[in-house]
Amino acid sequence: MFAFAKITLSIAAGVSLLSTASPLLAQPPQDPTYLPHLQAWHFAKKPPLDIEFLQTADHQPRMIITNLHQYPLTAFIVRTDPTAPNKNTLVYDSSARVGLTAPVPRGLSFVIGVPHQVGQPALDPVLAAAVWEDGSTFGPDELLARVPRARTALSNTYDRAIAVLQTGLDKDWTAAEYVAAAQQLILSMDADASAAPGTALLNTTPFRNIKINMERMDKENRPARDVAAMARTLLSLFTQDLEVLRQALGESTPPTGQAKKNP
């Protein structure tokens, strides 16, 4: 099979700053949340999660998230304005590849850049909600509901993107035909999001990945076999990402009333 030297993938970002993240070892505390349990918890007050903000030497604010729960942290939401309970929020979700590139295991920390406009006061974010791999949660229902909604929207987009790629392979599309199909869907979804701001969770990242890579194929005048190989590569990647999303949705966050309350 033809091996590509370069494939471009754009990642959906929940922040305006292109942040780098790196795990740091942390000492696991002696806490009851480390004991095995079979039922998800809803942490009403103190979640098993530490959040710290610091300024680096280059004056770029950083957020350090340390997972203290027995199961990996898969998503969390921070509120950038303490005076607005459920507004001005940033969502980080490993399943949707938004801000968080992978679940954070127990006892590890994750360092993430915090969006900051030069010349403006640094934000003072607070943890608003969190979701763990076992279905345990922290935060109000209206915020927690954003996580599965975003995952469902992205899952639906991957379904459509996979269908586009399969159609192109079946019909031996040129790179230009892939670009045209992806662009049409991007415009359609952007229009839907503008018309219904409450459904702005629509995500066009898979279509943009098709468009970017096929535009390069077209610009370089690559032969049909290379275009087909690129389509198969994207199809494989999208199928893997979709499976991750479906697994996450299968372990969907239970409503707060159904999760066991942590005393």
Check residues 69 and 253 and name the one with the higher pLDDT.
69
One domain, residues 118 and 170: no
pLDDT higher than threshold 80 for residue 6:
no
Asked whether residue 106 is assigned to any structural domain, the reply reads yes
Q: Tell if the pTM clears 0.75, that is, is over it.
A: no
**Closest to 123 in 3D by CA, of 54, 40, 223, 21:** 54
One domain, residues 82 and 134: yes
One domain, residues 116 and 188: no
One domain, residues 30 and 134: yes
pLDDT-derived band at 211, boundaries 50, 70, 90: very high
One domain, residues 50 and 98: yes
Asked whether residue 143 is assigned to any structural domain, the reply reads no
Asked whether residue 208 is assigned to any structural domain, the reply reads yes
One domain, residues 152 and 127: no
One domain, residues 152 and 117: no
Residue range 186-195, pLDDT digits in tens: 888 876 665 4
One domain, residues 200 and 180: yes
Element (H, E) at 127: strand 126-132
Asked whether residue 4 is assigned to any structural domain, the reply reads no
**Closest to 260 in 3D by CA, of 42, 72, 76:** 42
One domain, residues 167 and 235: yes
141 close to 86: Cβ distance less than 8 angstroms: no
Specify the range with the lowest mean pLDDT, choosing from 46-55, 220-229, 243-252. 243-252
Our count of domains for the chain comes to 2
- Among 138, 161, 189, residue at a domain's last position: 138
Q: Hey, what amino acid is at 234? A: L
pLDDT-derived band at 237, boundaries 50, 70, 90: very high
Query: What does the pLDDT read at residue 140?
Result: 92
- Among 86, 110, 138, residue at a domain's last position: 138
One domain, residues 36 and 112: yes
Query: What does the pLDDT read at residue 43?
Result: 92
Question: Which residues on neighbouring strands pair with residue 77, listed in sequence order?
Answer: 91, 129
- As a whole number of angstroms, the distance between CA 94 and CA 47 comes to 19
Query: Which tokens belong to 230?
Result: 């690129």
Residue range 11-31, pLDDT digits in tens: 443 333 333 333 433 333 334
- Residue 211, Cβ neighbours under 10 Å: how many? 20
One domain, residues 106 and 178: no
Enclosing domain of residue 130: 23-138
Asked whether residue 115 is assigned to any structural domain, the reply reads yes
Asked whether residue 75 is assigned to any structural domain, the reply reads yes
- Among 138, 172, 195, residue at a domain's last position: 138
One domain, residues 94 and 184: no
Asked whether residue 231 is assigned to any structural domain, the reply reads yes
Asked whether residue 223 is assigned to any structural domain, the reply reads yes
| CATH code for the domain in which residue 80 is found | 2.60.40
